[in-house]
Amino acid sequence: MSAIRLIETEIKGIKMKFKTSGKVFSPQNIDRGTLAMLSLADFKEGDKVLDLGCGYGVVGILASKIVGPENVIMTDVDENAIKLAIENALINSVDSIKILKSDGFKELKESGFSIILSNPPYHTDFSVAKEFVEKGFNRLIVGGRMIMVTKRKDWYKNKLTSIFGGCKACEIDGYFVFVTEKRETTYAKVKSKKVK
């Protein structure tokens, strides 16, 4: 087993602790891209939040501290990340969060999210990100937002704009954070409007 590490942090005025290991993404400290994404995430009471690709749980656990653990779902494809996310939910007293091992949306049945947050794997091809964006659109309520962070700009901006009809891109600490809002019920309508 890789060495276990405990990170203590404060994000949005909320103190949290996270157990990590060398088997998961960003084990030494909270990823700067994740912090950049969270700086633009405005959680409100009544939000239903999906942390898509949750890692050891920073985003979902922070969200649950604000909107309540019953309103948050966390997913990841990696078994090590899921185990740590479950432990970290317990450490941070939000252990009623639903944490699910899922390859993208494959095992996730829920929809009706008001916010989907993701720090997708951007060092590989774009197939994972493409699925996250396209399927994420369909899982959001109208008026719901998708917030993604990456190191790459053009592909994500073009893809999010083609699916959502627009997107805001901000460069923060060397990362690009994209914020989009679902304004239509299907992205076919968004595409047909652009053709006219």
Residue 103 lies in a domain: yes
This prediction has a pTM of 0.92
Give dist(CA 39, CA 30) in Å, integer: 13
**Which helix (H) or strand (E) element contains residue 171?**
strand 168-172
Q: Which domain holds residue 138?
A: 31-195
**Please, what is the Cα angle at 33 between 146 and 9, to 5 degrees?**
105
Give mean pLDDT, residues 57-82: 97
Position 195 pLDDT exceeds 50: no
Q: Is residue 166 part of a domain?
A: yes
Structural domain contains residue 63: yes
Q: Do residues 54 and 76 lie in contact, with contact meaning Cβ atoms separated by under 8 Å? A: yes
Whether residue 77 is contained in a domain is answered as: yes
User: What does the alpha-carbon distance between residue 153 and residue 95 come to, in Å, rounded to a whole number?
Assistant: 35
- As to burial, measured by CB atoms within 10 angstroms (0-12 exposed, 13-18 middle, 19+ buried), residue 169 is middle
Task: Evaluate whether residue 160 is within a structural domain.
Answer: yes
Measure CA 100 to chain center. 14
Q: Is pLDDT at 193 greater than 60 in this prediction?
A: no
122 falls within a domain: yes
More confident residue, 48 or 25: 48
pLDDT band at 194; cut points 50, 70, 90: low
Report the number of distinct structural domains present in the chain: 1
pLDDT in tens, 15-24: 999 999 988 8
Of 22, 21, 18, 23, the closest CA to residue 60 belongs to 18
Task: Look at residue 1 and tell me whether its pLDDT is greater than 50.
Answer: no
Whether 83 is covered by a domain: the verdict is: yes
Q: Around Cβ 32, how many Cβ atoms within 10 Å?
A: 14
Give me the CATH number covering residue 146. Answer: 3.40.50.150
In a domain, 13, yes or no: no
Beta bridge partners of 19: 6
Which residues neighbour 161 within 8 Å (Cβ) at sequence distance 6 or greater? 167
